[in-house]
Structure 1
Amino acid sequence: MSNGSFPPTPGRLRGALVTVAVVAVVCAAGWLAWYALRDDGGRDAGAAAEARHTPTGSAAPHTGDTGGTGHTGQTSHTGSGQADRADDSGTSGNSRKKPLKGMVVVIDPGHNPHNNEHTAEIARQVDIGNARKECDTTGTATNSGYPEASYTLDVSRRVRKLLEAQGAKVVFTQDGDRRYGPCVDERARIGNRAHADAVVSVHADGAGPGNRGFHVIAPAPVHRGKADTSKIVAPSRALADQLISRFGQATESKPANYLGGGSGLTVRDDLGGLNLSTVPKVFIECGNMRDREDAARLTDAHWREQAARGIAQGITDFLRG
């Protein structure tokens, strides 16, 4: 059925085809130009973003190196800016998080909670080099009955946790897991066999009321029989000095007012644990259990945590030189 139009002539058909071709070429050229501009713009934007996040003149991260020397435990760090950013995965960052890695610390919790059940055994005499002395004692207690042996174990376990967190290998002479003791000569041998970088024997004193404060006991020069402290007197004194400083700061305690001339330091030649040691070793008497003020601190768990922190920090300072 007709709609009133006429079929196209050959001339009209050619003209229409030419028009379509021209339009197609123009569109293709426009599309190509737009795509090229978009691509260049994307690359320029990416380069600009990269430039914004890359510091000028930055260098490749430096991993740094670490090393310990003898009992000082000195650690060397280089490239502080880049190394700080490597803390989560870089070698240098891990070394700083574990400053005592490779160090051995022996903690000697004074006495033993079971000593009072084995009085005959702990009364046995042992050789301490310049004399003979009882194997061990029961230790003292507060007037309310809190035993020194319980205090020393609690604080020593807290110290162990802090030191292990810094990478140290911590050895105990006893952990409440022995029938009694060990005897004072064996306590010394445990530190010697471990080739300890430092040994600290944890105690609390049993002096009269009104005598309060802490003190650290360092070995005197002893050269007799099995005892020869000549090589450990100086490093033990350095360990003592660090403990006095850090323990006082952490606990806000004052040095003992009844010995040591207020210095917090005493030197003795009658303790087998010191006489027979071949590695740096000291005793710390954290307070007087027989004094009401000191006893209130010694029986407080929060204060014991502060005491442990002071001991751990003193050991750390000594080992790091």
Structure 2
Amino acid sequence: MIRRPLAAAALALCGVGAVACGGAEVSDTGASAPAASPRLGQPAASQDRAADAASSSETASSETGVPTTRTATASETQARPLAGRVIVIDPGHNGGNWKHPEIINRQVNISNQKKACDTTGTSTNDGYSEAAFTWDVSTRLVRLLRAQGATVKLTRPDNKGTGPCINQRAAIGNRAKADAAISVHADGAAPSAHGFHVIMPKKIGGPVDPVVGESRKLGVAVRDAFHSGTGLPYSTYIGSKALNFRSDLGGLNLSTVPKIFIECGNMRNAKEAAEFKDPAFRQRIADSLAKGLETYLTAAR
């Protein structure tokens, strides 16, 4: 792998397990402008309000209209196993990042070093961008988790803006006191490389240290559910059994809640690129991630 600095004129795309997540190592794929992505469903703010209303434990009296507290039944608890849980979903990159190098090239402190605010991410060879892919998967995942009773927050409201920076993405999960946080990505490795991997934090003498153990449990649960649900193989080019531990990602280093990254596969591999462009397969990815999060969070009760 070649280590390259970010340039203002041509922003680095993600490389082998690194720049897709704001890392410093890049592949030789070169730069390409991201493709546009349609938004799915309601705006995040509207979804938040609907979810809050649906998950409220108070009901209005038919006679007085005064809220009365009601205890959930066993069947309701079973149907909404994530009630009371807070989950932060971080769709990697953003659709407008490539337009603003002055923003995303800015260096930010990630505890043990400084890194660029963000990157453009990668894309398939025909221009389907990582930012569009992660936004689509993440919004599908949000709906699944809210249906299970969770309070879910996204780190960005759409796929048209810039940022937020990697340190801000971590801060969103921290402020929410999330029970779990996951950053959704796809890699830009050599075309022959394929498979997915989960990235977990290492101890760095920094904010993430107390949650390294829980982050590993979260990572294993998501790894197992993703492998089973999507049929995608473990990565052939990085990590061991689809698990990779890193200390150079701001989104992990600065997290005070259990958090992982998932590289769902390689967008430069023809077979995986074709699957990622299929809405039905993206739904399978979201289903699998939801299952992994549920497994971790229900075991952690």
**Bin for the TM-score computed over the shorter chain:** 0.7 to 0.9
1:174-224 deviation per Cα after TM superposition (whole angstroms, max 9, x unaligned): 03266310000000000000000000000000001110000000001111x
CA drift at 1:90: 6.8
Q: Is the 8 A contact 1:153 1:175 kept in 2?
A: no
1:245 aligns with 2:224: yes
1:195 aligns with 2:177: yes
Call closer, same or farther: CA 1:90–1:259 in 2, change over 3 Å: closer
State the alpha-carbon separation in 2 of the partners of residues 316 and 183 from structure 1: 28
Name the counterpart of 2:35: none
1:233 to 201, 212, 231: 212
Aligned AA for 2:143? K
Call closer, same or farther: CA 1:118–1:307 in 2, change over 3 Å: same
1:256 aligns with 2:235: yes
State the alpha-carbon separation in 1 of the partners of residues 151 and 169 from structure 2: 17
- Structure 1 length as normaliser, TM-score? 0.70
CA drift at 1:95: 1.0
1:311 aligns with 2:289: yes
Q: Is the 8 A contact 2:197 2:262 kept in 1?
A: yes
Q: Is the 8 A contact 2:197 2:234 kept in 1?
A: yes
Call closer, same or farther: CA 1:90–1:171 in 2, change over 3 Å: closer
Question: Number of matched residues?
Answer: 229
State the alpha-carbon separation in 2 of the partners of residues 296 and 305 from structure 1: 14
2:243 to 248, 265, 269: 265
Name the counterpart of 2:151: 169
State the alpha-carbon separation in 1 of the partners of residues 144 and 231 from structure 2: 19
What SS does the corresponding residue of 2:215 show, helix, strand or coil?
Answer: helix
Aligned AA for 2:215? S
Aligned AA for 2:216? R
1:290 to 233, 246, 268: 268
Identity of aligned residues (%): 48
Call closer, same or farther: CA 1:132–1:302 in 2, change over 3 Å: same
1:209 aligns with 2:191: yes
What SS does the corresponding residue of 2:264 show, helix, strand or coil?
Answer: strand
1:17-59 deviation per Cα after TM superposition (whole angstroms, max 9, x unaligned): xxxxxxxxxxxxxxxxxxxxxxxxxxxxxxxxxxxxxxxxxxx
1:155 aligns with 2:137: yes
Name the counterpart of 2:76: 94
Task: Give ranges in structure 2 of 5+ residues lacking alignment.
Answer: 1-70
Q: Is the 8 A contact 2:197 2:263 kept in 1?
A: yes
What SS does the corresponding residue of 1:176 show, helix, strand or coil?
Answer: coil
Q: Is the 8 A contact 2:195 2:235 kept in 1?
A: yes
Q: Is the 8 A contact 2:187 2:266 kept in 1?
A: yes
Q: Which has the larger radius of gyration?
A: 1
Call closer, same or farther: CA 1:124–1:293 in 2, change over 3 Å: same
Map 1:38-187 → 2, pairs under 5 A: 91-176=73-158, 179-187=161-169
Call closer, same or farther: CA 1:99–1:210 in 2, change over 3 Å: same
Structure showing greater relative contact order (alpha-carbon pairs closer than 8 Å, 6 or more residues apart): 2
- Structure 2 length as normaliser, TM-score? 0.75
Q: Is the 8 A contact 2:95 2:160 kept in 1?
A: no
State the alpha-carbon separation in 1 of the partners of residues 133 and 161 from structure 2: 18
Task: Give ranges in structure 1 of 5+ residues lacking alignment.
Answer: 1-88
Q: Which runs of 4+ in 1 moved over 6 A?
A: none
